[in-house]
Amino acid sequence: MKIFTIKKNLQQHLQQIKASDKTIGFVPTMGALHQGHLSLIEQAQQNNDEIVCSIFVNPSQFNDPKDLEKYPRTIEADTKLLEQAKCDVLFNPPVNEIYDDNEQWHLNIGEMESLLEGKSRPGHYQGVTQVVYKLFNIVQPDTAFFGQKDYQQFLIISKMVEALKLPVKLVMCPIMRETDGLAMSSRNVHLSADDRQHALVLSRTLNWVKNNFDSAHIPQLKKEAELNVRNEPGVELDYFEIADGNTLHPADQNTKNIIALVAAKVGKTRLIDNVLLVHRP
Ligand code: AMP
């Protein structure tokens, strides 16, 4: 695996790859890699010739400086995992390789910016679009792979790609879970043994909603789900929403694509998860 920290060097390498008519698949991450990230690499390998994974903990998407500071950084273990996964390129730039001082960014993402995750984390999606735009410009991938785990992020990046007419195809990959159902996340390392048990309420409740789903009873299902999460010790519910999978507005009987999304603090760690309920093309 080739490792680059300087964008110019990465671009030189990728120019050679492109000159030989190979396609580039891109998996942007913040590191502390787990099987969820590796599933994106695998999917990318099935679709593209040269796979680039980036590891960059993006300061501009953290609205809480403590959260940024606490974010797990495990570059040595990550590098080994990527080698084992036969990833071709790792791009691991320092912050000053991506950002100049006092850089400004604002993208009109519409109201989705202030819903759900956007409401709880003001400015988060401006930071996400800022860094993904920069990374797309550097890597110029044919296809980029993202997880359904960050469903709202996928919708927002899709909007950006459409609005700015970026020449990249986006692929959304399924959520990888631990055997007991907990969605894999870099943040799970912060969970104590007790937190780890209490955190299961999220996937359990999403599954319960999926198994009992009936579009005529969305408000009742949402209420019971909220209650269920709230009743779990050590868990502080942020939101549980049964939403339109395209707009993230609350779903009703006529909604074509429906998704249940949850965010909660488990101990000191904020976790998110979701499950698709109805998908009608
Ligand atoms: P992160 O490093 O958390 O920014 O995540 C990088 C990419 O991995 C994003 O596209 C995430 O949606 C995706 N991802 C994170 N966790 C999972 C998971 N459990 N299953 C599948 N993809 C995931």
Q: Which region, left, alpha or beta, applies to residue 140 given φ > 0 means left and ψ of -120 to 50 means alpha?
A: left
Test site for ligand 1: of 52, 150, 154, most ligand atoms within 8 A of the Cβ: 150
Short-list 148, 152, 162, CA closest to 121: 152
Q: What is the pLDDT of residue 279?
A: 87
Q: What is the pLDDT of residue 71?
A: 97
Whether 273 has a pLDDT exceeding 90, the answer reads yes
Given 13, 34, 37, 217, the catalytic residue: 37
Taking only the tens place, the pLDDT of each residue in 122-138 is 999 999 999 999 999 99
Taking only the tens place, the pLDDT of each residue in 158-189 is 999 999 999 999 999 999 999 999 999 999 99
The pLDDT confidence band at residue 281, using thresholds 50, 70 and 90, is: confident
Residues 184, 178 contacting (CB under 8 angstroms): yes
Whether 34 has a pLDDT exceeding 80, the answer reads yes
In the chain, what are the domains?
A: 2-173 (3.40.50.620), 186-275 (3.30.1300.10)
Q: Is 56 in the pocket of ligand 1 (CB under 6 A)?
A: no
Q: Is 44 in the pocket of ligand 1 (CB under 6 A)?
A: no
Q: What is the pLDDT of residue 280?
A: 80
> If you write DSSP's letter for every residue of 54-98 in order, what string do you get?
EE---GGG-S-HHHHHHS---HHHHHHHHHHTT-SEEE---HHHH
Q: Is 184 in the pocket of ligand 1 (CB under 6 A)?
A: yes
Q: Is 146 in the pocket of ligand 1 (CB under 6 A)?
A: yes
The pLDDT confidence band at residue 275, using thresholds 50, 70 and 90, is: very high
Active site residue 37: yes
Whether 258 has a pLDDT exceeding 80, the answer reads yes
Mean of the per-residue pLDDT values of the chain: 97
What is the C-alpha to C-alpha distance for residues 139 and 145, in angstroms, rounded to an integer? 13
Question: What pTM did the predictor assign?
Answer: 0.98
- What are residue 84's phi and psi, to 5 degrees? -60, -35
What is the C-alpha to C-alpha distance for residues 195 and 110, in angstroms, rounded to an integer? 35
Q: What is the pLDDT of residue 29?
A: 98
Share of the chain above pLDDT 70, in %: 100
What is the C-alpha to C-alpha distance for residues 225 and 140, in angstroms, rounded to an integer? 42
Test site for ligand 1: of 40, 124, 128, most ligand atoms within 8 A of the Cβ: 40
Whether 104 has a pLDDT exceeding 80, the answer reads yes
- In the predicted model, what is the mean pLDDT of residues 6-31? 98
Q: Is 79 in the pocket of ligand 1 (CB under 6 A)?
A: no
- In the predicted model, what is the mean pLDDT of residues 27-53? 98
User: Measured in angstroms, how far is the CA atom of residue 12 from the centroid of ligand 1?
Assistant: 28
Share of the chain above pLDDT 90, in %: 99
The three-state (H, E, C) secondary structure of 14-37, written as one string: HHHHHHCCCCEEEEEECCCCCHHH
Q: What is the pLDDT of residue 100?
A: 96
Strands 143-147 and 169-173: parallel
Q: What is the pLDDT of residue 269?
A: 97
Residue with CA closest to ligand 1 atom 14: 147
- In the predicted model, what is the mean pLDDT of residues 211-234? 98
User: Measured in angstroms, how far is the CA atom of residue 183 from the centroid of ligand 1?
Assistant: 10
Q: What is the pLDDT of residue 252?
A: 96
Q: How many residues does the chain have?
A: 281
Q: Is 141 in the pocket of ligand 1 (CB under 6 A)?
A: no
- What are residue 173's phi and psi, to 5 degrees? -110, 150
